[in-house]
Amino acid sequence: MSNYSHPILKITAACALFALTAGVTQATVLDLGTSGSGTLAGAYFSTTYLQPTGTGVFDPFLSIQNSPWEQGYNSSTGNFDTKREPVWNHEIQFSDLRVTTIGGVDYFGFVVDINEPNGGGKNPISLDGLKIFTSSTIQSSTSVNGNGFFNGSLGTLVFSLGNNTLKYTDGQHGSGSGDLNIYIPVSLFAGVAPTDYIYMYQRWGNTDFSEGGFEETAILNGVAPIPEMGTFFPLIGLMVAVLSTHALRRRRQLQLARLDAR
């Protein structure tokens, strides 16, 4: 007879299982397709058609390439699957970041040029790991877990994608067109000094393979917030009132001129 056949033991086992699973965060998959946006792990992601973005036009600080999956972070000394150090894979500082405001929330923005093959079912790719660290000193680590995934520290962790996954289908024509904007809340960087280093770790291809060229990441220039439509209505009303007053004044002047001519 099973040791768990007794009612009390069944209840105890069930409680133990609940305790083990209750603390496990369920993974979320955000699929942007070829055009989409959404929030994942507190960050905001959106597709983009920024052009041109080829190397030498926009200035990547992180370049990664490998197949079927790839990982790395921006360090001028190189690590994992990073390429072209130190020109297009190097440290950046907090003062380099620019603010974009979306829906009243301030974000630091990054743009990724994804270079997957077009067609043939090879253009989907997944972002399975994303971490951002801050540090007052240069960092270097190649520590990995049993799966070969980076699990080291590069200073203070301010953002992590966790076990969530972002999926994207590359509808662009390879290098030269922006694909993905990544927005990280400014609030996560409280107390960071302007001279502190910013390290971004990325891991691609564990869910949908990486099968193309470089994944290049650059700092997104700040974008001023777009006023909501409600803010336009008072302006429109004022413009209508001004134009109406001007039209009435012209009409009155014409009437007086006609009376004087009689």
Residue 66 lies in a domain: yes
Residue 33 lies in a domain: yes
Using a pLDDT cut of 90, give the percent of the chain over it: 61
Residue 149 lies in a domain: yes
- Tens of pLDDT, residues 155-171: 999 999 999 999 999 87
Average pLDDT rounded to a whole number, residues 172-200: 89
Quick one: DSSP state of residue 82?
B
Average pLDDT rounded to a whole number, residues 225-247: 43
- Distance CA(166)–CA(29), nearest Å, equals 6
The 10 Å CB-count burial string (b at 16+, else e) for 196-230 is: bbbbbbbbbbbebbbbbbbbbbbbbeeeeeeeeee
Element housing 160 (H / E)? strand 156-160
Long-range contacts of residues 101-107, Cβ cutoff 8 Å, at least 24 apart: 101/223, 101/224, 101/225, 102/44, 102/183, 102/225, 104/225, 105/44, 105/185, 106/185, 106/186, 106/187, 107/44, 107/183, 107/184, 107/185, 107/186
Residue 154 lies in a domain: yes
pLDDT at 210 over 90: yes
Residue 240 lies in a domain: no
Please give the pLDDT value at position 114. Answer: 92
Residue 36 lies in a domain: yes
Residue 113 lies in a domain: yes
Tokens standing for residue 131: 């971490």
Structural domain that includes position 141: 28-219
Structurally, the chain folds into a number of domains equal to 1
- Tens of pLDDT, residues 76-121: 999 999 999 999 999 999 999 999 999 999 999 999 999 888 777 8
Q: Considering the entire predicted model, what is its pTM?
A: 0.75
Residue 255 lies in a domain: no
- Tens of pLDDT, residues 41-70: 999 999 987 655 445 556 899 999 999 999
Long-range contacts of residues 148-154, Cβ cutoff 8 Å, at least 24 apart: 149/71, 149/203, 150/71, 150/73, 150/80, 150/201, 150/203, 154/73, 154/199, 154/201
